[in-house]
């Protein structure tokens, strides 16, 4: 039996031009997006929104897009495709990598990949913050998707390395308020504590921004003041279908 080879439309045109014999084969839907295990890491024991399961992290960043475009890509993604996630899921993956850094042989490679992404590409996320004129602000996770969910909390405050007073804001943005643990994770990832960058006072009108990651040798920054029109790559993730358990 001849081997089955995936080709692009351009390759197919070339085959026709040179007269090479070929036969088109319909690939079953479930197999279309199988990615070699060498192209991603599987991180077990990721605690996200009340569930503990394994998630796959792509070894390649997703293309540079605005948050809206990342959301549209996720909405149209086929089964098994890597997509953009919200802040709590990314942090949960980082936390799981940190906790299992001595048990998983690839953690240092994954850590280096994430650090480089944060320092060089400033990964986008599907977390949006709506700073309100009065009252609590609204943090929208999985913005623009059917999985979207809002959290009302006061996010406005000073730019600084995270402190106890930031616990409620951190819970809304990252899904956890454990300052010590958060700093342990980002010290492992980047060698620095976590710094929060945000709107410092209530705006005169509703102001929507995107939350993303930024890092350099001085700090890892939780950037809560990125313009929605800014395009950036993102860390590609997907649920690992073979491992899931209720917390």
Q: Cα–chain-centroid distance for residue 197?
A: 18
Q: Angle at Cα 241 formed by Cα 236 and Cα 242, nearest 5°?
A: 125
Average pLDDT over residues 192-207: 98
Q: Is residue 23 part of a domain?
A: no
Total domain count for the chain? 1
pLDDT band for 241, please (50, 70, 90 cuts): confident
Answer yes or no: are the C-beta atoms of 199 and 130 closer than 8 Å: no
In percent, the amount of the chain with pLDDT more than 70 equals 83
Owning domain of residue 139: 31-246
- Does residue 244 surpass a pLDDT of 50? no
Answer yes or no: are the C-beta atoms of 209 and 11 closer than 8 Å: no
Q: Is residue 37 part of a domain?
A: yes
Q: Is residue 2 part of a domain?
A: no
Q: Is residue 135 part of a domain?
A: yes
DSSP code of 162?
-
- List the one residue out of 190, 188, 200 whose CA is nearest residue 224: 200
**What distance in Å separates the CA atoms of residue 220 and residue 102, rounded to the nearest whole number?**
23
Average pLDDT taken over every residue of the chain: 88
**242: enclosing H helix or E strand:** strand 237-246
Residue 118 CB coordination number (10 Å): 21
Q: Residue 94: which residues within 8 A CB-CB, separation 6 or more?
A: 114, 185, 186, 189
pLDDT of residue 22: 53
- List the one residue out of 41, 32, 160, 174 whose CA is nearest residue 111: 41
Q: Is residue 13 part of a domain?
A: no
- 44 phi, psi to nearest 5 deg: -80, 165
pLDDT of residue 37: 59
Alpha helix (H) ranges present in the chain? Answer: 9-18, 67-76, 87-99, 107-120, 167-174, 179-190
Task: Point out the least confidently predicted range of 34-38, 45-49, 129-133.
Answer: 34-38
- Does residue 247 surpass a pLDDT of 60? no
Task: Judge residue 30's burial from the number of C-beta atoms within 10 Å of its C-beta, 0-12 exposed, 13-18 middle, 19 or more buried.
Answer: exposed
> What is the reported pTM?
0.83
* Helix (H/G/I), strand (E/B), else coil: 103: coil
Using alpha carbons, list the distances in angstroms from residue 234 to 23, 68, 163, 170. 37, 12, 27, 21
Q: Tell me the pLDDT tens digit for each residue of 14-29.
A: 445 555 555 554 433 3
- List the one residue out of 109, 153, 102, 104 whose CA is nearest residue 130: 153
Average pLDDT over residues 35-47: 84
Q: Is residue 225 part of a domain?
A: yes
* Helix (H/G/I), strand (E/B), else coil: 52: strand
Q: Tell me the pLDDT tens digit for each residue of 121-150.
A: 999 999 999 999 999 999 999 999 999 999
Q: Is residue 61 part of a domain?
A: yes
Using alpha carbons, list the distances in angstroms from residue 103 to 45, 168, 184. 12, 32, 17
Average pLDDT over residues 176-186: 97
Q: Is residue 6 part of a domain?
A: no
């Amino acid at each position: 039996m001849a081997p089955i080879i995936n080709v692009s439309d351009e390759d197919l045109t070339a085959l026709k031009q040179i007269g090479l014999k070929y036969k088109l084969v319909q690939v079953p839907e479930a197999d279309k997006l199988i990615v070699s295990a060498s192209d991603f890491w599987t991180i077990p024991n990721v605690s996200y929104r009340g569930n503990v399961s394994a998630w796959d992290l792509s070894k390649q960043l997703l293309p540079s897009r605005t948050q809206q475009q990342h959301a549209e890509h996720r909405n149209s993604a086929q089964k098994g495709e890597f997509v953009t996630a919200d802040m709590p899921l990314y942090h949960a993956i980082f936390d799981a990598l940190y906790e299992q850094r001595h048990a998983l042989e690839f953690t240092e490679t994954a850590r280096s990949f994430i650090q480089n992404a944060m320092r060089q590409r400033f990964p986008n996320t599907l977390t949006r913050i709506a700073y309100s004129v009065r009252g609590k602000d609204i943090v929208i996770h999985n913005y623009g998707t059917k999985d979207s969910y809002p959290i009302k909390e006061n996010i406005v405050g000073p730019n600084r390395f995270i402190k106890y007073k930031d616990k409620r804001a951190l819970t809304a943005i990252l899904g956890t308020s454990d300052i010590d643990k958060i700093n342990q994770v980002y010290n492992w990832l980047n060698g620095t504590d976590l710094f929060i960058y945000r709107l410092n006072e209530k705006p005169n009108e509703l102001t929507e921004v995107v939350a993303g990651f930024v890092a350099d040798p001085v700090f890892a920054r939780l950037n809560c003041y990125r313009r929605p029109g800014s395009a950036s790559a993102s860390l590609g993730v997907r649920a690992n279908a073979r491992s899931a358990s209720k917390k």
